[in-house]
A and B are shown apart, each in its own frame.
Chain A
């Protein structure tokens, strides 16, 4: 069990929405990962679809690089489309 790889679990809470990351778990293979995800993360009716991805397959940004990756965007408010007047009827922008 100590050798079981780690998997990341993504759940779609209802049709039309996107899968969202909800946690991780250990499993020896993809089938077991799906079954474990079902048992661990959808017990309270949380989802209609599950993705599992081997954690080792995820390439992540290095936290040490965050200043050069993300800080330059902080003072560029003009990139947000906040200067438009939206009509009242438009609800989901």
Chain B
């Protein structure tokens, strides 16, 4: 079994799972019927992508691993998602800001992964690009709408961007497994995506009459499994059923 490849897959798939779970929390709680459905549509897109990655990882792991054991039976430290995606739905501005800051990265990652020498990952990326292109359009439009909307919406989306900015740098960090995968032409060299990312994000923020935060110190840890205080609650919610009723099926 190629452990680096499995860890690399977790690094990508866990982002989709945890963000999908966060968006799923909004089901029935969106600010309007239309946005409620839009957010949960994105959640389902991300969970669909997660399934493809985990099915592949389970196949590599062998033995009794399945997509479900990977999703539901790992411990907090074993999840390799970035801190950004586990941040809570403080309000609609935070949900949109989190989505936007992740989408711009996610799209460029998948565009790179599409050219991976690993055919399975390339195929998953190719399919995901269509979904994530729409997510990017949706979240960017909402950034513009809120930023260029009322004083209230402008201030709240600016506050959300300012608060979440500290988690953006981690998107481009590489674990040891990531580095090995890059040398084998399987993984995407995320350090090369950074400049274009900040350029794209700033362009949308500027159009939206929002300031691009300037920051020197960034948070990190998720990619090593060291998560923020929100992660435990999220996992408790997500894993409850499998933990309380092991091997339960629909």
Question: Are A1 and B32 neighbours in the complex by a CB distance under 8 Å?
Answer: yes
Interchain CB contact under 8 A, A28 and B137? no
A10-18, A30-38, A69-77 - the one binding chain B:
A30-38
B37 interface hit (Cβ, 8 Å):
yes
Contact A39 B38 (CB under 8 A): yes
Partner among A28, A29, A35 whose Cβ is within 8 Å of the Cβ of B38:
A35
**Number of residues on chain B facing chain A (CB within 8 A):** 13
Interface of B is mostly: helix
A interface bracket (residues with beta carbon within 8 Å of B): 10 to 19
A1-B31, A1-B32 known; A32 and B141 CB under 8 Å?
Answer: yes
How many angstroms from the CA of A3 to the CA of B98 in the assembled complex? 26
Contact residues of A between 33 and 77, Cβ < 8 Å to B: 35-36, 38-40, 43
- Residues of A near B31 (CB, < 8 A) are 1
Taking the complex as formed, is B52 at the interface, i.e. its CB lies under 8 A from any CB of chain A? no
Min CB gap B157→A, angstroms: 15
Please tell me if A26 contacts chain B, counting CB pairs below 8 Å: yes
Q: B33 interface residue, CB < 8 Å from A?
A: yes
**Interface presence of B228 (CB below 8 A):** no
A interface list, Cβ under 8 A from B: 1, 4, 25-29, 31-32, 35-36, 38-40, 43
**A-B pairs with the 8 shortest C-beta distances?**
A36-B34, A39-B38, A39-B37, A1-B32, A39-B41, A40-B37, A25-B34, A40-B34
Known pairs A28-B145, A32-B141, A43-B37. 20 more at Cβ < 8 A? A1-B31, A4-B32, A25-B33, A26-B32, A26-B34, A27-B34, A31-B141, A35-B137, A35-B138, A36-B34, A36-B35, A36-B38, A38-B134, A39-B34, A39-B37, A39-B41, A40-B33, A40-B34, A40-B37, A43-B41
Q: List 24 A-B contacts (CB under 8 A).
A: A1-B31, A4-B32, A25-B33, A25-B34, A26-B32, A26-B34, A29-B145, A31-B141, A32-B141, A32-B145, A35-B38, A35-B137, A35-B138, A36-B35, A36-B38, A38-B134, A39-B34, A39-B37, A39-B38, A39-B41, A40-B34, A40-B37, A43-B37, A43-B41
